[in-house]
Amino acid sequence: MSHAKSREDANGECRDSKSRVTIVGSGSWGSVAAKLVASNALKLPSFHDEVRMWVFEEVLPNGEKLTDAINKTNENANYLPGIKLGRNVVADPDLENAVKEANMLVFVTPHQFMDGICKKLKGKIKGEVEAISLVKGMEVKKEGPCMISSLITKELGINCCVLMGANIANEIAVEKFSEATVGYRESREIADTWVQLFSTPYFMVTPVHDVEGVELCGTLKNVVAIAAGFVDGLEMGNNTKVSAAIMRIGLREMKALSKLMFPSVKDSTFFESCGVADVITTCFGGRNRRVAEAFAQSGGKRSFDELEAEMLEGQKLQGVSTAREVYETLNHCAMTKRAAEEAPPSTDSSTTGPNFLGCYRDQVAELLSQEERIPHHEDGDTKKPSTEIIGAGISSLKREKLKALLRQCVTDLIPGVDEMQSRARSMLLMSQLSNKKPSISVTNEEVEDDIQLLLKSDPRLFKEIVKKHTDDVLTSLNNMQQQAEKLLDNVATSCRPMSRDEKRDLQRSIKELPGGNLKRIAEIIKDHRAASGKAFSDEVTVNLEEEDNTMLWRLHFYVAAVKSARKLAS
């Protein structure tokens, strides 16, 4: 993108050649970014003076809106008090309005909000627009981990560089010397433009042709900082030596994980500002280290959420959520590899594939067998059940691992379910075509010309093919159901005792189910009794007071799933 040429807006009308910048985010780092960019926009002839900053609207203690206060005082009283942002910074609470004239977007919000921001802006970004992400973190989606820069590119259809480095917002705000790295994927010219926009005598920026490496350094260093805070809070010997070991090991693991996710990541990137320098800075002076230290000093009795609210004054803690995402990413990589290795050999690709459910079932069973179960006691009023259902009898660490396993299981299962649904629909359509009674619409994408030709030329062969593929789909679905049943049985064994009120609610919900669902209830009970070695007859009588706790929660999960499905269908 050339900044010397005229540009077209969403209506195809020519604008002037000067670029406009919008900062998407207004926390402490977002405010500092606005200050840096605004000072350079005034000096660079290829940029408009005005720099817009999208502000998530808040109300100050005096009743004034944060946006109004910023525009009146030129300060962000909530997140960067006492620092003038620049007379050309304009705060805007309307996200779409803030970005509509801009052709250079700077994203700098907590990574948890980026998915929602991108969805809101999807289809609203027109013309030649460039982006840069200062966001530290990643999204874990059904197809695996997704870096924020990739999320921006995918959702908004624009190129996105990244800026990460050894810097602390409050220190840059008072113009103490610091540095950063711009990672770029495509054009060095664009990277140099971002370097121009951010560079000042006290903030040195250098470009590196390695988006993924730079971004992962900025993301993963917060996890290392959590570990550094733990060792400080636990007073594990000489803090300097211990922290040095944590940083060395942490940097090594950052490099290993980065190359596992993206083999193209360069070794040299870890020696840039975004790498070793940022790890050192964050482990000694960052918010993640401070909060983790307080967590360790409390013996884990105070939650990270509580400490975040108390210590960070509205800012977000990144390291804890990133650690969870790293765990899910590693688990996704391990499960994908393990499932692929355990897939049974077959010449028919339609009936094979990674056995994700079987792998997760084994992982859950292994996790639950790793330690002696902790006796479950209700807090306070014994009539009031704990809010924790799954894993209530194991340690909090094991419970979080169990929940992460189940979340990732659902994520990995979605593509398989989508594929089964697509195959089942195709089989239904082909079956109806063979009977010349199609009840669903037919499009060129769904029925290829050769299928139409086969149907006309050899109806018998066509029916045989339909039957074979239908049987394959039913076999796959049956296998998937069996594995899901076993997984649910393992999970249900970890659930706390069901209260009397919950049993009554379950009984009421079962009575309200349609006949088809009641039949499934009977099947679940029969299967469970058979697996438990209990006698049962063809006629099933449900008496929840006599059923064991595992059975109760299995029924609870099924009823909850039916309710969710009916709600989505309504």
The string of pLDDT tens digits covering residues 55-75 is: 999 999 899 999 999 999 999
- Residue-level pLDDT at 386: 60
More confidently predicted of 331 and 214: 214
Q: Which residue has the higher pLDDT, 415 or 558?
A: 558
Let me know the angle formed at the C-alpha of 466 by 460 and 472, rounded to the nearest 5 degrees.
Answer: 140
Q: Which of 494, 525, 546 is the last residue of a domain?
A: 494
CATH of the domain at 519: 1.20.1270.220
Question: Is residue 96 scored above 80 in pLDDT?
Answer: yes
In this structure, the answer to whether residues 187 and 301 fall within a common structural domain is no
Report d(CA 441, CA 165) in Å as an integer. Answer: 55
Q: How many domains does the chain have?
A: 4
Range of the domain at 23: 19-209
Angle of CA points 391, 413, 156, to nearest 5°: 110
pLDDT at residue 7, as a whole number: 47
- The confidence score (pLDDT) of residue 63 equals 92
Q: In the prediction, which pLDDT does 174 show?
A: 96
- Are 45 and 173 within one domain? yes
Alpha carbon distance 207, 416 (integer Å):
41
The angle subtended at Cα 537 by Cα 532 and Cα 540, nearest 5°, is 90
With beta carbons less than 8 A apart as the criterion, state whether 336 and 149 touch: no
288 and 326 co-located in one domain: yes
Domain annotation covers residue 406 = yes
pLDDT attached to residue 562: 84
Supply 403's token pair. Answer: 């929940």
Token representation of residue 217: 């350094």
Say whether both 169 and 222 belong to one domain: no
The CA distance from 523 to 399, in Å, is: 29
By mean pLDDT, which of 219-228, 349-358, 519-528 is the weakest?
349-358
Position 184 confidence tier, pLDDT thresholds 50, 70, 90: very high
Give which of 32, 57, 276 is closest to 165, Cα–Cα: 276
Residues annotated as part of the active site = 221
Q: What's the mean pLDDT in 399-426?
A: 70
| DSSP element (H, E) containing 127 | none
Judgement on whether residues 117 and 262 belong to the same structural domain of the protein: no
Q: Say if strands 159-164 and 178-183 run parallel, antiparallel, or are unpaired.
A: antiparallel
User: Is residue 54 domain-resident?
Assistant: yes
pLDDT at 382 over 50: no
Secondary structure (H, E, C), 30-77: HHHHHHHHHHHHCCCCCEEEEEEEECCCCECCCCCEHHHHHHHHCCEC
> Degrees (nearest 5) of the Cα angle 291, 294, 298?
140
| 121-130, 206-215, 528-537: the lowest-pLDDT one | 528-537
Which is more confident, 455 or 346?
Answer: 455
Give the model confidence (pLDDT) of 325-364 as tens digits. 888 787 777 656 655 555 444 444 334 444 556 666 677 7
Specify the 3-state DSSP secondary structure of 152. Answer: helix
457 and 471, same domain (yes or no): yes
Instruction: State both tokens at 561.
Output: 């799933």
Other Cβ atoms closer than 10 A to 565:
11
Chain position carrying tokens 């946006």:
67
Q: What does pLDDT average to over the chain?
A: 80
Sheet holding 47-54, edge to edge: 89-92, 47-54, 19-24, 104-107, 130-133, 159-164, 178-183, 203-208
Residue range 97-103: average pLDDT? 95
Any domain includes 386: no
Q: How would residue 440 be classed by pLDDT, with cut points 50, 70 and 90?
A: very low
Average pLDDT of 232-252?
A: 81
In this structure, the answer to whether residues 308 and 170 fall within a common structural domain is: no
Contact 120, 83 (CB under 8 A): no
Which of the listed residues 192, 209, 226 is the one where a domain comes to its end?
A: 209
Whether 201 and 274 map to the same domain: the answer is no
Higher-pLDDT residue of 336, 460: 460
Q: Is the pLDDT of residue 448 over 90?
A: no
On whether both 188 and 257 belong to a single domain, the answer is no
Residue 313 sits in the same domain as residue 270:
yes
In the predicted structure, residue 236 carries a pLDDT above the cut 50: yes
Tokens 């149907």, located at residue? 455
Q: What is the CATH number of the domain that holds 259?
A: 1.10.1040.10
For residues 69 and 158, state if they share a domain. Answer: yes
Residues 6+ apart with CB under 8 A from 3: 17, 18, 19, 46, 47, 193
